[in-house]
């Protein structure tokens, strides 16, 4: 166990935009949604289909609301996370009796956080600080709102499943949404690291989610090596099985999250943000969808180049071959008029 980072050493990020920590694939989707004319109005109408007041009352009646006199340490953590990430409204936190180690951010007008007792029992204070920051990151990015809307759209789409090929189309939508949700989880892991500023605690959370409380029986180096082994995956069949295993998951696997937060912390981006070099919220309106799409494409390309997964390698090789063939065909077509004029 490492020494906890003292509160006075944690840096605050005034006016930070969620774009600072969002995974490029997550960020490009969010920038595109935010740039749509009238999207906020449509979003609010769709969100109104879910009775947020009823959901809040359900948690108010059946869980413990965190405050000065109940789970005081969590109360301090959410205030600190909101202060560090410059979230104007400190969200309510509810503790739910549930042995499943999980937490979530819900709501649209006044988002709130729910933390299961299973997670509180599993983690120490610095690990919980990372989780609270993770959920505050979801709220700052607007993930709770967008996920609510997407769930409504999925529900509406399921009513059309009786149409020819309806199930195929809906399955494709769900696959796409889950891919986005998984990237949103990686984004919020980064927010959790920014809030807690303790990389070891962030790593321990994923180790405990995978293997329980006995850290003395685990090793961060060995877990990272396990992540590399998972990435390499043996042969093409294993890569395909990994892909199929991941499709129904709402969260990336623990070893993936561990490796991703380690990679991001060491990439230079984390240090730049700590030094005060980050995009500001006041500039969100000028963010270009095309730039974010390019960033997302570059991120996927870099991850493909870094992975040792043979399945991804085969897909990459086929994509490169197809791109080369298409480029050659394009060159021949564009040269043909010049050639015919020379005859």
22, 126, 135, 260: the active-site residue: 135
CA dist 226 and 238 (Å) reads: 15
DSSP letter at 329 equals H
Q: What is the pairing mode between strands 93-96 and 112-116?
A: parallel
Is 135 an active-site residue?
Answer: yes
Contact present, 103 and 119 (Cβ < 8 Å):
yes
H/E stretch holding 186: helix 166-196
Using CA atoms, how far residue 27 sits from 88, 109, 110, 176, in Å, is: 21, 21, 22, 15
251-271 burial string, b = 16+ CB within 10 Å, else e? bbbbbbbbbbbbebbeeeebe
Q: What letter does residue 67 receive in the DSSP assignment?
A: B
Could you give the 3-state DSSP secondary structure of residue 237?
A: helix
Which residues does the annotation mark as catalytic?
Answer: 135
């Amino acid at each position: 166990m490492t020494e906890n980072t003292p509160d006075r050493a944690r840096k605050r990020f005034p006016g930070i935009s969620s774009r600072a920590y969002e995974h490029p694939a997550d960020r490009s989707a969010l920038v595109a949604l935010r740039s749509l004319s009238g999207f906020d109005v449509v979003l609010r109408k769709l969100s109104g289909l879910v009775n947020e007041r009823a959901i809040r009352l359900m948690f108010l009646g059946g869980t413990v609301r965190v405050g000065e006199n109940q789970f005081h340490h969590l109360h301090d953590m959410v205030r600190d996370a909101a202060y560090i990430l410059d979230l104007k409204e400190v969200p309510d936190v509810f503790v739910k009796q549930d042995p499943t180690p999980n937490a979530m951010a819900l709501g649209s007008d006044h988002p709130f956080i729910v933390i299961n007792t299973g997670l509180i029992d599993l983690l120490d204070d610095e690990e919980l600080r990372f989780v609270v920051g993770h959920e505050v990151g979801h709220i700052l990015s607007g993930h709770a709102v967008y996920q609510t809307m997407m769930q409504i759209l999925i529900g509406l789409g399921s009513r059309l499943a009786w149409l020819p090929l309806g199930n195929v189309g809906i399955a494709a939508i769900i696959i796409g949404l889950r891919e986005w949700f998984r990237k949103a989880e990686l984004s919020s892991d980064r927010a959790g690291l920014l809030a807690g500023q303790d990389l070891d605690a962030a790593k321990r959370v994923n180790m405990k989610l995978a293997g329980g409380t006995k850290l003395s029986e685990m090793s961060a180096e060995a877990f990272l090596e396990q992540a590399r082994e998972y990435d390499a995956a043996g042969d093409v069949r294993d890569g395909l099985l990994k892909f199929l295993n991941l499709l129904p998951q709402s969260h990336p696997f623990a070893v993936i999250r561990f490796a991703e937060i380690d990679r991001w912390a060491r990439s230079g981006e984390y240090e730049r943000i700590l030094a005060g070099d980050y995009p500001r919220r006041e500039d969100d309106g000028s963010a270009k969808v095309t730039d974010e799409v390019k960033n997302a494409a570059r991120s996927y390309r870099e991850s493909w180049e870094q992975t040792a997964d043979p399945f991804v390698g085969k897909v990459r090789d086929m994509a490169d071959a197809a791109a080369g063939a298409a480029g050659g065909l394009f060159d021949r077509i564009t040269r043909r008029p010049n050639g015919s004029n020379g005859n």
